[in-house]
């Protein structure tokens, strides 16, 4: 079937050159970016486990990842990697993430990550309570001094 509206056709030589360039870029990414050898949901620990091709392992609880927070064990077991090992997919949940982002700690959109941080900041613990009490005994948090940048530079 021919498409008459396609005016930006390229020559066979240009196509071959683009393919060579794409293969080189893929080879460079394979050498410099984390790639996964396998991924699985470990029911006993409740963690998603990703084995990287360099021999390292990376794991995290599914509730940290946007789209997996309400997933069942059956949903989490339905996971697969793309052919290059650069991304992980849960087809049943319509969730896809790049391995590079996961290893960097990116488990969702900026808004999702912000909400995770907000929830974490609300957490209470004995250590947090003790630190707050000790800080209160010292007069609370010190006030930030607002100095113009030029005076800070001049004093150094």
Backbone angles phi, psi at 57, to 5 degrees: -120, 145
pTM comes to: 0.60
The CATH-assigned architecture of domain 36-118 is 2-Layer Sandwich (3.30)
The domain segmentation of the chain, as residue ranges, is 36-118
Lowest-pLDDT range of 32-36, 46-50, 134-138: 134-138
SS3 151: helix
pLDDT in tens, 69-119: 899 999 999 999 999 899 999 999 999 999 999 988 888 877 767 776 676
Q: How many CB atoms lie within 10 A of CB 43?
A: 10
pLDDT of residue 49 exceeding 90, the answer is yes
């Amino acid at each position: 079937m021919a498409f008459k509206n396609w005016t930006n056709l390229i020559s066979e030589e240009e196509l071959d050159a683009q393919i060579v360039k794409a293969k080189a870029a893929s080879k460079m990414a394979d050498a410099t970016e984390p790639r996964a050898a396998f991924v699985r949901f470990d029911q006993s620990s409740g963690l998603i486990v990703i084995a990287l091709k360099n021999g390292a392992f990376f794991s995290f609880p599914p509730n940290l990842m946007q789209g997996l927070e309400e997933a069942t064990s059956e949903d989490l077991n339905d996971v697969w990697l793309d052919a290059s090992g650069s991304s992980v997919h849960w087809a049943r949940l319509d969730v896809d993430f790049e391995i590079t982002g996961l290893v960097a700690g990116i488990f969702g959109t900026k808004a999702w990550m912000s909400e995770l941080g907000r929830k974490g900041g609300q957490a209470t613990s004995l250590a947090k309570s003790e630190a707050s009490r000790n800080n209160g005994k010292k007069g609370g948090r010190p006030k930030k001094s607002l100095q113009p940048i030029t005076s800070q530079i001049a004093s150094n």
